């Protein structure tokens, strides 16, 4: 029997302590294994350590600055998370995204992450869960 992550939409990773104030920094959330491809279906941002007000532009994807559109770019709603009990579900709703290839030559093209373009006004971290599925390349 194959990996459970190949049999349905599953949580692929959980990353705690993601710095939501780190402008111009990419945090790797999930690396696609060699021999696999991945489709990211949704991301949950939860458990903020403080208000994320001002976090008005983040990109999710691969590449050095998450510039390859594998999920969402220019996400602006994260700044609405102002209480430590808040969470947000971000869902890919377009067919304009690309599949992540675990056999890509450059490591950054196998690494799905978040790139903070315009971070929170103050110090704040969050936990980010990545959901999707894997299949053979």
Average pLDDT over residues 73-85: 87
Higher pLDDT, 90 or 92: 90
Q: Which CATH architecture has domain 4-136?
A: Sandwich (2.60)
Alpha-carbon span 121 to 34, nearest angstrom: 38
Contact 114, 66 (CB under 8 A): yes
> pLDDT tens digits for 12-61?
999 999 999 977 778 999 999 999 999 999 999 999 999 999 998 898 98
- Nearest Cα residue to 36 out of 105, 129, 130, 104: 104
Q: Quick one: how far is CA 135 from the chain centroid?
A: 19
pTM for the model stands at 0.91
What is the pLDDT, as a whole number, of residue 2?
Answer: 62
Residues in the chain: 137
Alpha-carbon span 55 to 124, nearest angstrom: 10
Alpha-carbon span 73 to 71, nearest angstrom: 7
> What separation in angstroms does the CA of 103 have from each of 67, 97, 127, 133?
18, 18, 27, 16
């Amino acid at each position: 029997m194959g990996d459970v992550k190949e049999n349905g939409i599953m949580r692929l990773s959980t990353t705690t302590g993601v710095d939501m104030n780190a402008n111009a920094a990419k945090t790797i959330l999930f690396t696609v294994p060699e021999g696999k491809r991945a489709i990211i279906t949704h991301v949950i941002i939860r458990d903020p350590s403080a208000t994320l007000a001002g976090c008005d532009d983040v990109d999710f994807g691969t590449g050095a600055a998450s510039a390859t559109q594998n999920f969402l770019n220019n996400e602006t709603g994260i700044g609405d998370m102002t209480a430590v009990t808040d969470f947000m579900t971000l869902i890919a709703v377009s067919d304009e995204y690309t599949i992540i290839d675990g056999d890509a030559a450059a490591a950054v093209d196998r690494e799905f992450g978040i790139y903070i373009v315009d971070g929170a006004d103050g110090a704040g971290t969050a936990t980010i869960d990545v959901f999707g599925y894997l299949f053979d390349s």
